[in-house]
C-alpha cells in the first residue's frame, strides 16, 4: 500500500534571499557559506568559553 506524501509548504521561503543567492557567482556563494560557518564556530566557542568561566551560573531570560 502506498501512501501519498503531501508536498512541503514552501510559502515561508524568503524569496528575496533566494534571489540574492541566485545572483551570486559560485565563488561568492562559497564565500558566504564559509563566512556563515565561521560565525557559527565563533559563537559556539564564545558560548563554551563563557560556560567554562561561570560553570554554575544559570541563564537569566
- SS3 (DSSP) at 7: coil
**pLDDT at 60 exceeding the cut of 60:** no
pLDDT at residue 47 in the model: 94
Residues 5-30: pLDDT tens digits? 776 766 788 999 999 999 999 999 99
- Residue 18 CA to residue 39 CA, distance in Å, equals 20
28-47 burial, b at 16+ Cβ within 10 Å, e below that, comes to eeeeeeeeeeeeeeeeeeee
How far is CA 57 from each of CA 18, 41, 54, 61, rounded to the nearest angstrom?
40, 22, 6, 13
Q: Higher confidence at residue 31 or residue 59? A: 31
pLDDT at residue 2 in the model: 65
pLDDT at residue 9 in the model: 67
Amino acid at each position: 500500500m502506498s501512501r501519498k506524501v503531501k508536498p512541503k509548504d514552501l510559502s515561508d521561503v524568503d524569496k528575496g534571499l533566494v534571489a540574492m543567492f541566485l545572483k551570486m557567482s559560485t565563488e561568492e556563494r562559497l564565500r558566504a557559506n564559509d563566512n556563515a560557518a565561521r560565525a557559527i564556530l565563533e559563537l559556539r566557542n564564545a558560548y563554551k568559553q563563557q560556560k567554562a568561566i561561570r560553570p554554575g551560573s544559570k541563564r537569566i531570560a
